[in-house]
A and B are shown apart, each in its own frame.
Chain A
């Protein structure tokens, strides 16, 4: 299953609903382009909803890191929402779980933006 992304706005926060696989190639490129487009349009409060992401490889992890640092460098904030067990475990073993701001509840994640 390839990557699918859709965006929606909730109280000034952009939520990117992701599904499928974030892997080397199309999935990673889509993620990168979407976040860059959002930032270019001034949307600097971003939540990546990964609830339907069933697979991620090292390139996908790199893309999440890139999205996080790019957003931060432009004065924005990026949070991750609804990690599946596979993605959660991957972020744990790569020690990135505590680097990202990870949320389990969408309403709380939206409210958590400064």
Chain B
């Protein structure tokens, strides 16, 4: 994988699946373990769902920009939509007893559960979600000469 790869995607359900597939492939190529690959791919899927559904609201003229950046310490994933910007204060805690039986509202919680850092920057021209996974132990993306 190059240092940074970026994709411009339509606001469709297929984009959600494609984003997840790309995350799975890239995280696997970088050497993350099976559980971490699942966590990264699920976090990206949830971010893509937010961008397509809540950000761009399926608008055909609005795009989702998905970028993967490899740094020495981290895999940094950025998901940007072109919507009106989400209201973070309006997102309830899904673990609160009164919210446990709600059928939605767990996406950002899952992203925060699975990634080391989650930054959400809403603006009037869209929302940017940055997902960071640290490279633990044996460096992801570095092949060992012997075992």
Using CB atoms and an 8 Å cutoff, list the residues of chain A in contact with chain B: 23-25, 57-59, 61-63, 65-66, 68-69, 86, 90, 93-96, 99
B42 within 8 A of A: yes
- Among B73-81, B84-92, B95-103, B124-132, which stretch is in contact with chain A? B95-103
Q: Which of B1-9, B61-69, B106-114 contacts A (4 or more CB under 8 A)?
A: B106-114
Tally of chain B residues near chain A (CB < 8 A): 20
Report if A62-B106 is in contact (Cβ < 8 Å); known contacts: A24-B49, A94-B94: yes
Nearest-neighbor residue (CB-CB) of A69 within chain B = B101
Report the minimal beta-carbon distance from A68 to chain B, rounded to whole angstroms.
8
19 contacts across the A-B interface (CB closer than 8 A): A23-B45, A24-B13, A25-B16, A57-B45, A58-B46, A58-B49, A58-B104, A58-B106, A58-B107, A58-B110, A59-B104, A61-B106, A62-B102, A65-B103, A68-B101, A90-B110, A93-B110, A94-B95, A94-B110
Interface of B, helix, strand, loop or mixed by DSSP: helix
Determine the chain A residues whose CB is within 8 A of the CB of B57 once the complex forms: none
Assembled-state Cα–Cα distance A99/B99 (Å): 12
Task: Using CB atoms and an 8 Å cutoff, list the residues of chain B in contact with chain A.
Answer: 13, 16, 38, 42, 45-46, 49, 53, 94-95, 100-104, 106-107, 109-110, 113
CA distance A93 to B95 in the complex (A): 9
Question: Which residues of chain A come closer than 8 Å to B42, judged between CB atoms?
Answer: 57
Distance between B115 CB and nearest chain A CB, rounded to angstroms: 13
